[in-house]
Structure 1
Amino acid sequence: MGDYADLPGVRTWYETEDGPGDPLVLLHGGFCTNETWGAQRADLAAAHRVLLPERRAHGHTPDVAGPLTYQDMADDTVAFLETVVGGPAHLVGWSDGGVVALLVALARPDLVRRAVVVGATFRPAGEAFADPGMLDAMTPGSADMEFFREMYEAVSPDGAGHWPVVAAKVLDMWRTQPALTERELGRIAAPVLVVSGDDDLMTLEHTTALYRALPDARLAVLPGASHLVPLEKPGLLNGLILDHLAERGPVETMMPVRRAGG
């Protein structure tokens, strides 16, 4: 089921899956729509009330004048949590959605119970991407962008002709954002599961730095997977997400090292 929420920043499209348990908000990746969560919705809704907003300039949600920023999308998500969810929720973000989840958890810890970030970055592409040069080949009309362009054109209220504008905005954002420091990440209180494919778009070194900077984090590197972990390993990922969200209290292991004395 889908509907619009009139948020202060943008009229936002969202869908819901009415399951039991705490609310869970799924935050899709850049250039994507809720369609890409198809392999997660049923499994996660078996244990949670799942809400799926489409961010500004993505899917059914219109673009807004000016540049696209992670901070604006995080502010939209805060408004969504306050207005539609009505309180704190778990956040699961993939790629750009993971960045948004981190920013929300940093700014509004009262609204985030637990978080999962999949293929996320905390620094711009040049510092995080395994192949930073890939952005130079990604133009609105390039073959690499055809999948995203077709997804956008199928549902965007701004029309197919607006695609080059949105594509340019996202690529510009990736070149300079996000710009979080390890010190800022260290202020995130929510327990965070950091997930990556072993051949992800983000370097494993960057993913490990993210994991180490978060004070209450777990790390999962999925074998035989790329940046498209939710599509390639849905069963494994869904189980990891549900296990993390079901945790109560601190992690207890038989031989703690990083968590010793925590």
Structure 2
Amino acid sequence: MGEYVELPGVKTWYEAEGAGDPLLLLHGGLCTNETWGAQRADLAARYRLFLPERRGHGHTPDVEGPLSYRDMADDTVTFIESVVGGPAHLVGWSDGGIVALLVAIARPDLVRKVVAMGANFLPGPESSAAPALLDHMSADAPEMAAFRGMYEAASPDGADHWPVVVNKVADMIRTQPTISTDDLARISAPTLVLVGDDDLTTLEHTIALYRAIPHSELAVVPGTSHALPMEKPEQVNRLILDFLTNDPVPTMFPLRRATGAAAGSGQA
């Protein structure tokens, strides 16, 4: 069961479970906490999970005006401060991954480690493997049926508000985010960039994201699409847990991670 917390500008619904260090699960665009079903048990066995639903998503009502990733990141910062009460791991999928990156840039003091799955740092037309899909993103499209079902089952705004939210999210994806590589370079938290090998976000864009973040690791899950946490949950969960619970291993021939004398000697 979940509950609401009054944050500045938005009454936010969240769920919590498990025990241990705090970990936020940040869902994808037009999704709800329902999409984390295959991750919750494994992660809650090791961590105290917090699952906030962002403005206009799930049980959290929409707000006046357009949606923006930066506003959602600000909401997340306030949520961490007021509900979690200290630094947390951030695991974000799709739009949730974008929010996690923005929080890590703005408030490094609140972030332990980051897992960004299927995330992009430039707008959809510049980062998507199929930008034409944005032209068909409408409330009544058959491809949107599953998203519409989740929305109608949870939203306090009612089913009639669905087209409004779809249009807002579509506008956001077309024009946002606009995160510079200089800003990505400011991320100090260890970061796992995770992607499906047939993801909506191109592999080239994902590699650029990985290269821009100093303390990052890259994992490409074979045989998966943008829905990798649902398609291969056991493999995705193992990657997440290994990254969050373990320190990096020394590598024998570091190149990207080599510094100083190590760069010349080939030692970690």
TM-score range, shorter chain: over 0.9
Query: How many residue pairs align between the two structures?
Result: 260
SS in 2 for 1:63: coil
Counterpart of 1:7, as a letter, is L
Counterpart of 1:91, as a letter, is L
The aligned residue for residue 251 of structure 2 is 253
Alignment of 1:198-237 (within 5 A): 198-237=197-236
Give the deviation of 1:205 after TM superposition. 0.1
Give the deviation of 1:109 after TM superposition. 0.1
Alignment of 1:2-151 (within 5 A): 2-19=2-19, 21-151=20-150
The aligned residue for residue 264 of structure 2 is none
The aligned residue for residue 166 of structure 2 is 167
Counterpart of 2:79, as a letter, is F
Residue by residue over 1:157-182, the C-alpha shift from the partner in whole angstroms, topping out at 9 and shown as x without a partner, is: 00000000000000000000000111
TM-score (norm: length of structure 1): 0.98
Larger Rg: 2
Q: Percent identity?
A: 67
- Stretches (4+) displaced over 2 A: none
TM-score (norm: length of structure 2): 0.95
Residue by residue over 1:66-107, the C-alpha shift from the partner in whole angstroms, topping out at 9 and shown as x without a partner, is: 000000000000010000000110000000000000000000
Give the deviation of 1:251 after TM superposition. 4.6
Is contact 2:18–2:46 with CA below 8 Å preserved after alignment? Answer: no
SS in 1 for 2:241: helix
Unaligned runs of 5+ in 1: none
Question: What's the RMSD between the two structures over aligned residues?
Answer: 0.9
Residue by residue over 1:16-66, the C-alpha shift from the partner in whole angstroms, topping out at 9 and shown as x without a partner, is: 1122x2100000000000000000000001100011000000000000000
SS in 1 for 2:131: coil
